[in-house]
Structure 1
Amino acid sequence: MKRKTKVIIGLASAAVIIAGGLFGAGMYFYNVAVVPAPKSFLSKTQPIKPGNSRYPAHKWYQDAHKQHWFEMSATRHLKLDANYISADKATKKTIIIAHGFMSNKNRMFDYAYLFHNLGYNVLLPDARGHGQSQGNYIGYGWPDRLDYVKWVKKVIHQNGQKSEIAIFGTSMGGATTMMVSGVKGLPTQVKAFIEDCGYTDVYSEIAYQAKELYHLPKFPLVDIVSGINHVKNGYSFKKASALKQVAKNKRPMLFIHGAKDQFVPTKMVYPLYRADRGPKQLLIVPGAGHSRSFSTHPKLYSDTVKKFLNHYLN
């Protein structure tokens, strides 16, 4: 009897130790994946100097007159920050730009310059926990999708009911764009979406990164991190699905992905494209890595975007 009791105690102790270790590992990777902070796996931004192909866009953005817009988040009562740049010629057409993971509005100057040159007003928000917006977690587009609906309504309030709006995003911003597309009651002034290298769902992307960066299986670690995130931030990684959202979308969507993307693998775009129920177009950019489609083939990119927008806005 005593021996049996010792075995039970030993097994229970081992289970507690294992559970504690898994929870500790989960908290560590929660901080890596969800807490806004410098990430060692992200490349550092380099200064933009004269002679750099991006310099004209950067110089324009630095000099452009920016209106400072604020909005409160749809949940958590966070103060969100954005820059608004009017088109040179008065227009009701506006592009709302969603940035990527651990990026911010000011790093989206290339795209702001592209849309400005096409004649659009441009709104560049900082997502929760990024840039000058409040928040202590990365939403991966899921809570942010409701924030972007509020930005849409703010554009309509500022520019009028005849506004025509397209939402554009890259990487996490691409996923955010797709997540917005499935929101019920999205104002009819939103005419189109352009997503560039977004993921199918947060669980699949984090599982992919766990394997690529740390050689870890998705179970049980990603599930533990997802559970911690659900408790802390109100959503699970599987719930945060761009794939399920585009299946509800009936408005035009342009899907763009680099053929050599190894951060959000290119294969993710195909089920997204198939699931979408609205008018749609797919551009796979030859030779382009993650978020490098525009810089790799700028003419192909800008021509495709211009034609798509011209078809669906006004």
Structure 2
Amino acid sequence: MRSQQLLRYGRRTLVLAAVLFAGLNVVAAFHAWRFTHFTTEAGAHTNNPEQLTPLQKLGVLLTGIKNPKPVNQQRPDFPYATLYLRSPNGRLECWYGPVARPRGTVALFHGYTSSKGKLLTEATHFRRLGYNVLLIDFAGNGGSEGTVCTVGHHEATDVATVVRWLQQRPGPVFIYANSMGAVATLRAEAELGVRPTANVLECPYGSMLETAQSRFRSMHVPSFPMANLLVFWGGVENNFWAFDLDATAYAARVTTPTLLLWGTADARVTRPETDAIFAALQGPKQRLDFAGSGHEPYWWKHKALWEHTVAGFIDNYAR
């Protein structure tokens, strides 16, 4: 009799565990879709996790983030032309700002839920230094086609498209990229054979799993198993193995001279992640940490230092 009760209890436990596991997968798949697919509805994007109130965090956990397609709110105040390049991910909208007697061209790549219009200060600085600039909207962002964002994986082919187009023209080609754009750059160089003259990379995350875990930590929610399930479904829904989206592994195959920048108050990209990426880089490399800066443009708090460091690095490779 007792053995039958134990058997029934064991079966109920297994059923409940299976239902719970299935429910977690449904929730993770839903969140992964919202995270990697922008909507075409107008509206504000959900604030960063560290900016949410406890009630807002609960709402995000239940309903997913609001993720409208990023738009370009600003236009260059320097002369530019709008260009369109054909990537495997769709048509990319770019702004090309040439200068007289250029020393080369800097291609600028934005981060997650951003657009090329957010990089105008950086582009203006590069133009002052004597470089043409090409600002790019990744596929799914700004004026480019699509609504899908894979946080660096598919975007690597956009980087490859742009760099190869620029390399058909005179002068060295430099990459300036932050966050997602920096990860896409590392993958483009490690796996797609892209070879720019030099990189300036700001706050690339260590891996897709680490960045998912970071978002849960910032909401003060345990990351396991939901972060793992989120990464799994994000890859399945977008046709790649997201656990291999790993900037540290890519860096170990990158020989391009690279300047790696990071903010010491970054809540989304940790020092160990940054240390590992920098240690893995195989080419000439330089690093600078910006005290007190978070996951944000470093010129906000350290304008002179950022300008001097970036100028000194790329000028060294433009000679």
| TM-score normalized by the length of structure 1 | 0.84
1:229 corresponds to which residue?
Answer: 234
Deviations 1:252-279 (CA, angstroms, capped at 9, x unpaired): 0001111221222233211111110100
Distance 1:135 1:154 in 2: 21
Which of 78, 81, 84 is the aligned partner of 1:70? 84
Q: Distance in 1 between matches of 2:12 and 2:219?
A: 35
CA distance in 2, matches of 1:164, 1:122: 12
Q: Quick check: 1:79 aligned with 2:73?
A: no
- Provide the residue aligned with 2:54 in structure 1: none
**Pair 267,303 (structure 1): closer, same or farther in 2 beyond 3 Å:** same
* Correspondence 1:247-262 to 2 at 5 A: 247-262=252-267
Does residue 179 of structure 1 match 2:187?
yes
Q: Tell me: CA distance 1:83–1:216, structure 2 relative to 1, closer, same or farther (3 Å).
A: same
Give per-residue Cα distances to partners, 1:190-223, cap 9 Å, x unaligned.
1100101111111111111112125122x32122
Match of 2:173, SS?
strand
Report deviation, 1:10.
Answer: 2.8
Q: 1:73 to 1:104 in 2, by over 3 A?
A: same
How far apart, in 1, do the equivalents of 2:11 and 2:272 lie?
A: 48
Residue among 215, 221, 225 paired with 1:220: 225
- SS where residue 167 of structure 1 aligns? strand
Structure 2: give runs of 5+ residues left out of the alignment.
Answer: 40-44, 52-72
- After superposition, the C-alpha distances for 1:150-175 in whole angstroms (9 at most, x for unaligned) are 11122233xx2x43101111122222
2:42 matched to which residue of 1? none
Cα deviation 1:34-74 (Å, max 9, x = unaligned):
2325223277xxxxxxxxxxxxxx99x53323222222333
Structure 1 segments of 4 or more deviating over 3 A? 1-9
Q: Which residue, 23, 33, 36 being the options, matches 1:34? A: 36
Match of 1:166 among 163, 174, 179: 174
Aligned residue pair count:
291
RMSD, aligned CA: 2.5
Q: Specify whether residues 257 and 4 from structure 1 end up closer, same or farther in structure 2 by C-alpha distance, changes over 3 A only.
A: closer
For residues 292-303 of structure 1, what are the structure 2 equivalents within 5 Å?
Answer: 292-303=297-308
Does residue 145 of the first structure (1) align with residue 156 of the second (2)?
A: yes
Q: Distance in 1 between matches of 2:7 and 2:284?
A: 66
**Cα 1:214–1:29 shift into 2, 3 Å:** farther
> Given the superposition, is the C-alpha separation of residues 244 and 313 from structure 1 closer, same or farther in structure 2, using an over 3 Å criterion?
same
Shift of 1:7: 4.8
Q: Distance in 1 between matches of 2:179 and 2:192?
A: 23
The runs of 5 or more residues in structure 1 that have no matched partner are: 44-57
State the identity as a percent.
Answer: 22
Change (3 A) 1:246 1:231: same
What's 1:97 paired with? 108
**Structure 2 match to 1:203:** 209
Letter in 2 for 1:82: C
Q: Is the 8 A contact 1:255 1:281 kept in 2?
A: yes
SS in 2 for 1:297: helix
Rounded Cα–Cα distance in structure 2 between residues aligned with 1:214 and 1:81: 38
* Partner of residue 137, structure 2: 126
Contact 1:32 1:39 in 2 (8 A): no
- Residue 94 of structure 1 and its aligned partner are, at CA, apart by 0.6
TM-score by length of 2: 0.83
| Contact 1:177–1:194 (CA under 8 A) maintained in structure 2 | no
Q: Distance in 2 between matches of 1:168 and 1:128?
A: 17
**SS of structure 2 residue aligned to 1:204:** helix
**Residue in structure 2 matched with residue 107 of structure 1 by the alignment:** 118
